[in-house]
Amino acid sequence: MSHHRITGVFSASATPLTADNRPDFALFTDHCRQLLAEGCHGVALLGTTGEANSFSGAERRAILEAALKAGIPADRLLPGTGVVAIPETVELTRHALSLGVTKVVMLPPFYYKGVSDDGLFAAYSQVLEKVADTRLQVILYHIPQVSGVPLSIPLIGRLIAAFPETVVGIKESAGDFNNMQAIIAAYPGFSVLAGADPLLLPLLKAGGAGCITATSNLVANSLRAVYDHVHDEARAADVEAAQARINAYRTLSNSYVQIPTIKAMVGLKTGNPAWKRTRAPLMPLGDADYAALAESYAKLP
Amino acid sequence: MSHHRITGVFSASATPLTADNRPDFALFTDHCRQLLAEGCHGVALLGTTGEANSFSGAERRAILEAALKAGIPADRLLPGTGVVAIPETVELTRHALSLGVTKVVMLPPFYYKGVSDDGLFAAYSQVLEKVADTRLQVILYHIPQVSGVPLSIPLIGRLIAAFPETVVGIKESAGDFNNMQAIIAAYPGFSVLAGADPLLLPLLKAGGAGCITATSNLVANSLRAVYDHVHDEARAADVEAAQARINAYRTLSNSYVQIPTIKAMVGLKTGNPAWKRTRAPLMPLGDADYAALAESYAKLP
């Protein structure tokens, strides 16, 4: 069985906004509760789908605090805390820990491109040494198509070797199944979490630990069904059907700009068009796209 | 003659660090004074060469305040204030204005890639509308090879049209001379500043406004000579020689990782090896590279 320290279905939750473009705490915490009710093991708030890097440090802290105040248990929250400057990554990580939130997803510093593994190792090491909290569990965040900063397999190995109790997993959002398999093979017990929904089932079969994905905002119950029954031969058809449903939602969300589309689809699911709002530089879907999306959405399984 | 509101030789100044990896305010302000003494019209601190995005907001504010406290006039300072989240870009820009610093260089939000011109227009517009200060003059920052977010010519035009008294120039750091020429042709009076040193002379001949470059940390006097005498036929040979000297320094700095090499070269110029320090994810040159650099540096004109 799995020796992963982090395993399950985690939602890369979207962040709703008020009419004046601030985080809508009430709607967000309702959404978190709903995600857990639909089967998510946890909510990986403040990631790429959550538009975290479009919020100030103060807003990020307020979003996490709002979730806790609304009664979401600390051990069900996995905020993104990796930002572009080491002192602010330290500050956000310490803030989470101060609230009892011990699992975080951490981007590398992402302004400079083509940086060396030595440089990324130094950056992560300095953060972890400054935070210096044995409770902390870090999920590295590999999303080179957005961050511009890939995390190589040797770098991952160096970080695990240096911080074996802290660096416990990776969110692999490049969607590169070969890379996921290689990480699993290289580092037994290290949690590889799919960042791309269609890979949940194949990754679990290959020894992966679960997922942190955007489509969970819409079909968490199907993701949970895949996760729970992947090894149950008798339910193979159900599992395949659940993964197919996930893929249908994913395909539709990727037919337009993904994050605004995910948000618009949450709005269609919940009947609350406030969900359409995004923060610049992301823009809400235009009226024509939204109308077409709504028509396609109504036909999804 | 030029109708540019921002014109001259500006240094993309490097930021020295203390042994415990904090900004070295004393060494930095000495460097700013030296850059002005060598002929820079101003210091464009806290840009890419200045490792700005590796500093926290608090550190960035402290660096700007240190320069002012050391007596650098506010109208000679052009800090970078564009960060990844609109509220923090607003905060840094307001901070500069609160100190009487009215000219800033502004990156677009740079986490998300492939964003639309509508999204970037919205981002810049929201910043400028929130800051709402008629003193402000903004130099847009086009450095797609690092930021991952190019600024298109139509976007530039939309911003000039919407904020004609505020959006007054662009730092073109893609090193794309055709792009510089196209911006000059499209928007007369808009200041196009070379971000790549070898293009200063050709850009000035083509109607550009000057430069904001890294090699100015080393050879500001030569950049100033090119700027001052570009239109003096009698001094054409001197101008060509000055540009050739600039190019020699630039070629050497780009023989290794550029920013750590620029810093190491400032250390060689000033005899202060503390300049070798960088903040992660950038790493100082290794000993072998540093020794080779020092040997090459000693032979520069």
Clarify whether A69 is annotated catalytic.
no
- B259 annotated ligand binder: no
Q: Closest approach of chain A CAs to the CA of B247, in angstroms?
A: 23
> Average pLDDT, whole number, for chain A?
97
Place of tokens 């580092």: A187
Give CA angle at B93 (B89, B98), nearest 5°: 145
Q: Let me know: does B64 contact B46? Beta carbons within 8 Å.
A: yes
Structure tokens at B135: 């003193």
DSSP A11: E
Residue B109 and residue A85: Cβ atoms within 8 Å?
no
Six-digit token string for A98: 């101060």
Q: Where are the alpha helices (H) located in A38-116, listed in sequence order? A: 57-69, 86-98
Residue A214 carries which side chain, given as an amino acid letter? A
Mind listing the pLDDT tens digit for each residue in A199-256? 999 999 999 999 999 999 999 999 999 999 999 999 999 999 999 999 999 999 999 9
CA A296 to chain centre: 25
Q: Cis bond leading into B150, ω under 30°?
A: no
In three-state secondary structure terms, B82 is: coil
Q: What is the β-pairing status of strands A167-172 and A137-142?
A: parallel
Which of B49, B51, B112, B278 is best to mutate for the A interface (most A CBs within 10 A)? B112
Q: pLDDT tens digits, residue range B88-144? A: 999 999 999 999 999 999 999 999 999 999 999 999 999 999 999 999 999 999 999
Question: How far apart are alpha carbons A48 and A13 in whole angstroms?
Answer: 9
Cβ contact B59–A87 (<8 Å) = yes
Domains of chain B: 8-239 (3.20.20.70)
* Percent share of chain A, pLDDT over 90: 99
The two tokens of residue A41 are 């093991």
User: Residue B58: its chain A contacts at CB < 8 A?
Assistant: 87
Which runs of consecutive H residues, i.e. helices, occur in chain B? 25-37, 57-69, 86-98, 117-131, 144-147, 153-162, 177-186, 200-205, 216-229, 236-253, 258-270, 287-298
Q: Please tell me which of the candidates B123, B146, B280 has its beta carbon nearest to residue A126.
A: B280
Instruction: Report yes or no: A230 and A203 within 8 Å, Cβ to Cβ.
Output: no
Selecting among A111, A112, A124, A141, the annotated active-site residue is A141
Interval A14-72: pLDDT, tens: 999 999 999 999 999 999 999 999 999 999 999 999 999 999 999 999 999 999 999 99
Cα–Cα distance between A54 and A72 in angstroms, integer? 23
Helical pair A236-253 and A287-298, crossing angle rounded to 10 deg:
170
Q: What residue of B is the nearest CA neighbor of A108?
A: B281
pLDDT in tens, B190-208: 999 999 999 999 999 999 9
Distance CA B177, CA B199 (A): 7
- H-helix or E-strand containing A297? helix A287-298
Type of residue numbered B141: Y
Q: Is A120 exposed, middle or buried (0-12, 13-18, 19+ CB in 10 A)?
A: buried
In angstroms, rounded to a whole number, what is the distance separating the alpha carbons of residues B166 and B171? 15
Residues of chain A with Cβ-Cβ distance to B108 below 8 Å are 281
Q: What's the rounded Cα separation, in Å, for the pair B64 and B53? A: 14
Per-residue pLDDT of A132-171, as tens digits, reads 999 999 999 999 999 999 999 999 999 999 999 999 999 9
Distances (CA, A) of B115 to A272, B106, B152: 25, 17, 11
CB atoms within 10 A of CB A231: 11
Q: A265 — phi, psi (to 5°)?
A: -70, -35
**Shortest CB distance from B109 goes to which of A54, A87, A148?**
A54
Report CB contact under 8 Å: A109, B281. yes
A101 min Cα distance to partner chain B (Å): 23
Interface pTM, i.e. ipTM: 0.97
Strand, helix or coil for residue A296: helix
Region of B94 on the Ramachandran plot (φ > 0 left; ψ -120 to 50 alpha; else beta): alpha
